[in-house]
Every structure is written in C-alpha cells, then in structure tokens.
Structure 1
C-alpha cells in the first residue's frame, strides 16, 4: 500500500487547501497520474501518483486544509472491491477513517522552529496505529499550532475532535469561541450577526480563495508595517513611441517578440536604482540590506488575483530578453502554472495599471521591498514646450511608493525624476540601464 502525501513545496509553505480531487475511491491509477490539485498561498500544484494501483480511500475532502507531509489518501494494489467513500468536509469526524501518520515527516524543519507539539491523550484508543514519535509530531497540525500561538492558546487545554487526538484549526477556533463566550454574552444583543442583503434583494456569498486571503493579508501588513509614502511625476512618451514605431517591425522579425513598454521601464528603473541604491534594499531588524543585484518583479493580473513573478538579473538582459521573460511569466501566471521559484525574491516591483485604463493610482509596497513604481495610461494632453508654444503630447503619470523608514523624500523624488529623464531619452537606457 502507498500513501498519498502532501509534498514539500518550499520553506515558506507549510500547508495548502485541496481544491480538487481528480480520483475517487475504487479508481485505478498509474504512476504519474494526477490525483489532486492543491492550492497554496503562492502557487497551485498537482499531486501525482507514485505507485500504480487502486485508490483505497481518500482521507481528506475538497476544501480542507492539509499540512506538508500529511497523508491524505491511500493507494492499494487490490482490485478495488468495496472501496471506502471519500470524506467530505461535512462528514462526521467520528465516522471518518483516521489518517495514517507517515514514517518520515518532511515538515520536521518547520516543526522544529515551533513550540513542541503536545502528545495525544493517553486515553485515546486509536493511538496505537502510529508510533509515539509520530503521534507527538502530528498531535497538532502546523496551521493549528500557528493559530494557537497567534491567539495565545495552550494546546494542552484544547479538546480534539479527531479520533486520533490530532488538534486542527477548527478545534482551536471552537476553544477560542468557548473561552470568549461568557465575556461576549452581555453584548450579544448589541452586535447582531451580519445580514448578507436586505430581504428580497439578490446577493451572493463567496468564499475567499487561499490566495486572495494571502493577498489581502500581505497588503494590510505592508501598510501597517511600513511608513509608506507616494510621489508622482509625468513622462513625455513621445521619444519611446517614435523608437517603437521605427523599430517594432525589425525587432519583431529578429527576436520573435514585440517591443513593448515594459523593457524601457525596466531599464529605466535599473538605471535609477544604481543611482539611488536604497530603493533596492530592505530592512532586516535594525540593519539595512542593500542588494547589488536587480531582480525586478513585474505585477501580473491573474484569475486568482495579482501575482508578481520576477525577472532575474534584469540588468544583464537585453530589451528582447526582458520582453521574452515578461511574456513567458505572464503566460504562466494566467495559466496558473507559475513555480514557487518564479515568485520568490525580487528587489523592486513595477506595476502597470495603465493596461486597464488607470490614469493615476497609489501602488502598495510588495514587502519586504521598499519601492514600487506604478505605470499608468498614456493620454494625449496639451504640454507647454516653451514660453510660446503648446503641443499635444502622449503623457503618462508615474508613481513611486516607498518606505520612508529608510528612503527620504528627496531621494525618492530624485529617483523618480531619474526614471523620467531616462524614459524621455531612450538612448540613455543603453548606458545607464
């Protein structure tokens, strides 16, 4: 018999949500067949069969949160007769098959950095199915331990509903609700439950995806932990548009990729970062880490929300190489096939709200970065050329949000002016970018 386990997905990911099972109990599978899709905070991954056989049982249902290394199903070599039914999130926990603790625990490095988990109660009769060591490790899921730490709850006081004695998130939430019940009772009438909509009016309640929850959390954290300010300027795009008009056909024919705006902006940002390196830094405790490489994050709108894949060592790439990497990463983002490595790191971010028609906006920092450049819609506006002449020019507002804890206002303004000057003189990008 082979166990279906949640694979390791990187140091920063300790759990995920089963978004879809592609098999059911009794199905025959071959090595490499996709069994389930797992949604994490950053990327979606597929869990494949490591052994051919028959699905004996699925221990966790769609929509449930599972930890790295956890057993979520079993594959047997039998004929599949009388298979167990997959457990849904609404199934009775007491009637559900107990998960089998794995012999080795890939999540051990994460668990080692956390408070030691509490061993399963000695009175639990189902405990002999696992060794004492495994019972101790899996007595509380990583998500449950994290929630307990955040709420200051002693795990030894939490009542587990799992027949194996394992503590889950819902056990922590139930314990927390029970502990607050006496204090909340007097104000229960003053705080009625929220109503979805007025009676007779249509409304729809949607569950937030794991990625949307993570995006929301990170954006709030960025605003709460950084002293974020934004400075604005505008760029005359005449020169860049003329270069693109003259070169786009030859560029496309030679490199098999269109000459867009992002390569110009990436080069301009790199030139400005070299002049003002604190915008390419991050705060670590009471120290400033100034990075001497340029991994530029490019914000991409995907179905599940905004993602920021990274163009590595962009200062060493040509215009064509930058355009190709951006196109490749954007395609992966929209196909939901980005790898964790595509999203990790990044020293500075560029976001383009102009593709959606935004004329002006304030971008939010992509922590722990301390700078983000916002591009906007190109719009024809009258511009004073000198004391006498006015011309209609293609203008774009640009915005720089920065962390005022390490970047002074004067430095931020000069950075943005440098970006403007480089964009208005595209030939300088070959030297400075």
Structure 2
C-alpha cells in the first residue's frame, strides 16, 4: 500500500488546505497523475501520484487543513485491488473485536476517547503545527476540543481554543445548534446574506496586513511626479521598443529603475530588522504587487539593478501572467527587499500602502491625471501628474531620509535619461 502524503513545500510553509481532489476512491492512477490541489499561504500546489494503482482511501477531505508529512490517502497496487485492502482489516480489526465482543458492542473503542482527552493524563494526537501553537500560547492539548471525528487536534482547533471558541466547537455543540437555528428565521428575508469561508491565501493576506500594522512603526510620506518626460519617451520609442524586444514599454520599468537608484543612495530602505540588528541588503530584488483572483501577490524581480528596461518589462509580464494563472512558484514570491504597488491601474488617485513585512519600505503608484501646474510666476500648464506614496518603518528609517528617498525617485522619473546612469 502506497501512502499519499503532504510534501515539503518550502521552509516557511508548514501546512496547507486541500483545495480540490482530482480523483475519487476507486479511480486508477499512473505515476505523475495529479491527485489533488493543495492551497498554501502563498501558492497552490499540485500533488502527483508517486506510484501507479487504485485510489483505495481518501483520508482527508476538501477544505481540511493538513500538515507536512501527513497521510491524506492511500493507493493500492492495481494487481492487488481485490485483496490488498482486506489484509490490514482482517489482521487488525478482529484482534480488539474478539477481546471485547462478549463484554461490549463494537462501538466500545469510541467511548474511552473523551476521558482520555479530558483528564487521564494522556496526550491527544495532534499535528505538529497544533503542538507548536499550543506551546507558544501555553495551552494544554488535553483541554482542546477538536472537530476531527477520529480525535486528532489541528492548528485551527488550538487557535479557536485560545480565542475562546473551543467550548462552542465541541462541548456546547448541542446547545449552540438550536440557538443558531432559532435565530436564523429572525433575519430579514428582504436582506439576504451569504457566508463564504476565506481562502487560505486571503487569511494569510489578512494576517500579514494586521501583523505589519501591529509590529512596524509605519508612516507614509507623499510627493507628486510630473510624468510629461516619461510619456514623451514612451510615445517616441514605444513602437521601436516593441519591435526590437517583443514587449511593450510600460511604466513599471521606469519606476523600478528609479527605486533602485534611490535605494542605492538610502540603503536603510533596502534593509530589514532582525531582533536588535539591522540587516542591510546589498542586492535589489524588487517585489511587484499583482492583483490575482485569490488576492494580492508580490512576485519578485531578481537583481533589478542588473536588468535593462526590456528585461524588467519581460520579467514583470511573465510574473504577472503566472500570478493570474496561479502558476507562480514559491521561489518567485520569496526574498524581496522592497515593493512597488500600482493602485493607479484601478483608478486610485492617492493611498497609503501597507508594508510587505519584513521589508521596511513600499512605494505606491497612482493614477496619472491632468492637473494645472505652475511653470513660473506667470504661466501654468495642464500636466500629467501622479501622486506617489512611500510607506516606511519609522523604527529604522527617519522621516528626513524617507522624504529624501521619495524626492530622489521623483527627480529620476522626471529626468528619464538619468535612469540610464543610475542603472
């Protein structure tokens, strides 16, 4: 019998959620066939069969949280389909059944479970993630009520217990159910609602945003950029650029180059905090925020300081395509040193971006809009202007340094030829 287990998915990922099974019990599979799709904090992964045979058992269902190494199904060799599953059942089940058949019914093993979890000193089975969270929060696993019918405790059970939700999860389930049922008719039928479970990625996004606000001394400074020169360059060069490099000349390559130039002058914006230390990064891996169906993801353009405009544009187009088709790898999402996010594509005129921790800086781009600008004391013109915002961690970045960083970005963008020198 071959076991279907949750594979290692990267050093920062310890668990995932079964998003969809592509097979069912009784299906024949070959080596390499996709068995299921696993949703993690960052990307969705496909788990393939490591042996040919028949899917004998599916142990965990869609929506269940699972941990690395956990057995979630079984595949039996095809030639032994008729006999393979019978062997463990006849070998294991009759032993306790014969010993207890005269004294108790078959359901006898189910009754000792609650006392074992509630006070006889034994430790209930729990996933590694659940044990880790219990240790961190000082929770006795014997007091945690799980939802798993076989008694195993999972990360969500410990989390619910620490939030005061474990009692209603199990011990009060009988009393809670009537209350929920009785309160439902009281809702106004003219104002219907729909309850949807957040995807794992959406939960992760929510947790990381709250964590950033709780841990960083986040502040935002603003400026505006006259985009006249960049628009002129794009107008004159876009056709030749497209023909030569087979990619459009967008705004992101200009902004990426400007950010790299500013980071070289103000390196604390390219750092992170590790305890009482500051880690200054001497490389420039720029994260580009991309809106996908499941939420915002930030793939990384590696060594952006060494890339030309065309290479940056190609890399961004490739990463954005993978983000929207949900085919990004973990390596393409990890290790960024600074992030750029463009709310302007959705029409945002001004916003305060939230840090992508552990990074200490993020630049927000916005909508280009014609506004009257004073050229001198006597003249004004309508110019294509963009507000830009820099959110930064005030713990290591002073306000004066943040302002100078943003002014540098502005100056480089308003003089596109200088970006060639900064590159």
Whether contact under 8 Å (2:145, 2:167) holds in the other structure is no
Please give the alpha-carbon distance, in whole angstroms, between the structure 2 residues aligned to 1:170 and 1:271: 44
Q: Counterparts of 1:61-210 in structure 2 under 5 Å?
A: 61-78=61-78, 80=81, 139-158=125-144, 166-169=152-155, 172=158, 198-210=188-200
TM-score, reference length from structure 1: 0.81
- Going from structure 1 to structure 2, the CA distance change for 1:314 and 1:175 (only over 3 Å counts) comes to closer
Q: Which secondary structure does the structure 2 equivalent of 1:213 belong to?
A: helix
Q: Which secondary structure does the structure 2 equivalent of 1:69 belong to?
A: coil
Q: Does 1:57 align with 2:39?
A: no
Please give the alpha-carbon distance, in whole angstroms, between the structure 2 residues aligned to 1:330 and 1:170: 32
Please give the alpha-carbon distance, in whole angstroms, between the structure 2 residues aligned to 1:145 and 1:161: 16
Please give the alpha-carbon distance, in whole angstroms, between the structure 1 residues aligned to 2:323 and 2:22: 22
1:145 Cα deviation (Å)?
Answer: 1.6
Give the equivalent residue in structure 2 for 1:4.
4
Please give the alpha-carbon distance, in whole angstroms, between the structure 1 residues aligned to 2:145 and 2:194: 34
- Please say which of residues 242-251 and 162-171 is displaced more in the overlay: 162-171
1:201 Cα deviation (Å)?
Answer: 1.2
1:148 Cα deviation (Å)?
Answer: 1.8
Please give the alpha-carbon distance, in whole angstroms, between the structure 1 residues aligned to 2:145 and 2:346: 50
Give the equivalent residue in structure 2 for 1:48.
48
1:77 Cα deviation (Å)?
Answer: 1.4
- Going from structure 1 to structure 2, the CA distance change for 1:281 and 1:173 (only over 3 Å counts) comes to closer
Give the equivalent residue in structure 2 for 1:26.
26
- Going from structure 1 to structure 2, the CA distance change for 1:178 and 1:375 (only over 3 Å counts) comes to closer
- Going from structure 1 to structure 2, the CA distance change for 1:234 and 1:23 (only over 3 Å counts) comes to same
Please give the alpha-carbon distance, in whole angstroms, between the structure 1 residues aligned to 2:84 and 2:220: 60
Q: Counterparts of 1:200-279 in structure 2 under 5 Å?
A: 200-279=190-269
Q: Does 1:322 align with 2:312?
A: yes
Please give the alpha-carbon distance, in whole angstroms, between the structure 2 residues aligned to 1:358 and 1:161: 43
Q: Does 1:334 align with 2:350?
A: no
Whether contact under 8 Å (1:303, 1:334) holds in the other structure is yes
Q: CA RMSD in A?
A: 2.8
Q: Which secondary structure does the structure 2 equivalent of 1:234 belong to?
A: strand
1:180 Cα deviation (Å)?
Answer: 6.7
**In proportion to residue count, which structure has more helix?**
2
- Going from structure 1 to structure 2, the CA distance change for 1:82 and 1:362 (only over 3 Å counts) comes to farther
Please give the alpha-carbon distance, in whole angstroms, between the structure 1 residues aligned to 2:283 and 2:165: 51
TM-score, reference length from structure 2: 0.83
- Going from structure 1 to structure 2, the CA distance change for 1:249 and 1:381 (only over 3 Å counts) comes to same
1:242 Cα deviation (Å)?
Answer: 0.5
Number of aligned pairs? 378
Please give the alpha-carbon distance, in whole angstroms, between the structure 1 residues aligned to 2:166 and 2:203: 26
Please give the alpha-carbon distance, in whole angstroms, between the structure 1 residues aligned to 2:280 and 2:165: 48
1:204 Cα deviation (Å)?
Answer: 1.0
Q: Counterparts of 1:381-400 in structure 2 under 5 Å?
A: 381-400=371-390
Once the two structures are superposed, what CA deviation does each residue of 1:245-299 show, in whole Å capped at 9, x if it has no partner? Answer: 1110110011000000000000000000001110001111111111110000000
Whether contact under 8 Å (1:18, 1:65) holds in the other structure is yes
Please give the alpha-carbon distance, in whole angstroms, between the structure 2 residues aligned to 1:377 and 1:160: 49
Please give the alpha-carbon distance, in whole angstroms, between the structure 2 residues aligned to 1:388 and 1:174: 66
Whether contact under 8 Å (1:228, 1:404) holds in the other structure is yes
Give the equivalent residue in structure 2 for 1:311.
301
1:139 Cα deviation (Å)?
Answer: 3.2
Please give the alpha-carbon distance, in whole angstroms, between the structure 2 residues aligned to 1:205 and 1:164: 27
Once the two structures are superposed, what CA deviation does each residue of 1:374-400 show, in whole Å capped at 9, x if it has no partner? Answer: 000000111100011111110000000
Please list every run of 5 or more consecutive structure 1 residues that lacks an aligned counterpart in the other structure.
Answer: 85-96, 99-122, 125-134
- Going from structure 1 to structure 2, the CA distance change for 1:203 and 1:223 (only over 3 Å counts) comes to same
Give the equivalent residue in structure 1 for 2:117.
none
1:143 Cα deviation (Å)?
Answer: 2.9
Please give the alpha-carbon distance, in whole angstroms, between the structure 1 residues aligned to 2:140 and 2:234: 63
- Going from structure 1 to structure 2, the CA distance change for 1:40 and 1:376 (only over 3 Å counts) comes to same
Q: Which secondary structure does the structure 2 equivalent of 1:62 belong to?
A: coil
Q: Does 1:377 align with 2:363?
A: no
Give the equivalent residue in structure 2 for 1:402.
392
Please give the alpha-carbon distance, in whole angstroms, between the structure 2 residues aligned to 1:377 and 1:161: 48
1:147 Cα deviation (Å)?
Answer: 3.6
